[in-house]
Amino acid sequence: MADTPEAASSPKNPLVTVLLIVNIIAMGAIGFMQYRFMQLEAKRPDLTALLKNDNTITSPEAEGEAKKEDLIKKDNLLPLEAMTVNLSSGDGPRRHAMIEAVLKLSNDAKSAEFEARKPQIRDTIISIINTKRPEDLLKKEGKQFLKEEIKASINSFLVDGAVEDIFYISFTVN
């Protein structure tokens, strides 16, 4: 009778041992992948260092304008100021979206045209977002569709160049 309990537990021991070994190997693989990911992230250049302007300008306003101009020239990026837009709502409470974005321009884009049309670009974005419901903008697909809609609307009135992509810096719906 003393051998019976040992015999019943012995078939379970190899299974537990195999599962323990598989678990240890899986944890080691996850740890290794985390280590490699952190190494790759450490090698990536810092975005603020890339956008930093080496020229020293005395006035803060002129410095901001020079940075924007360098940003447009270097990477064909046009930052837009933050805007708060009312959303379309039925009988529910009034809701609004706060958006800050950067437009990626094509290589043949002229910064003078985009700077001159900034009010028109902002008006277009506000007009489009005014027609959206909060439920539309809270989904990833809704934000992606909004990007495409804004891009198409802005490109319809541009003469030189085009908007290739839109990057949201901040996007909140209240």
* Domain ranges for the chain: 3-43, 76-173
Superfamily for the 76-173 domain: Band 7 domain (3.30.479.30)
pLDDT digits (tens, 9 = 90+) for 9-40: 555 688 889 999 999 999 999 999 999 999 98
pTM: 0.56
Give the DSSP per-residue string, 11-51: THHHHHHHHHHHHHHHHHHHHHHHHHHHHHHHHSPPHHHHH
Beta strands in 68-142 (DSSP E): 77-79, 83-86, 96-105
Q: Give the residue carrying structure tokens 């740890």.
A: 31
pLDDT digits (tens, 9 = 90+) for 65-103: 555 555 555 568 888 899 999 888 766 788 889 999 998
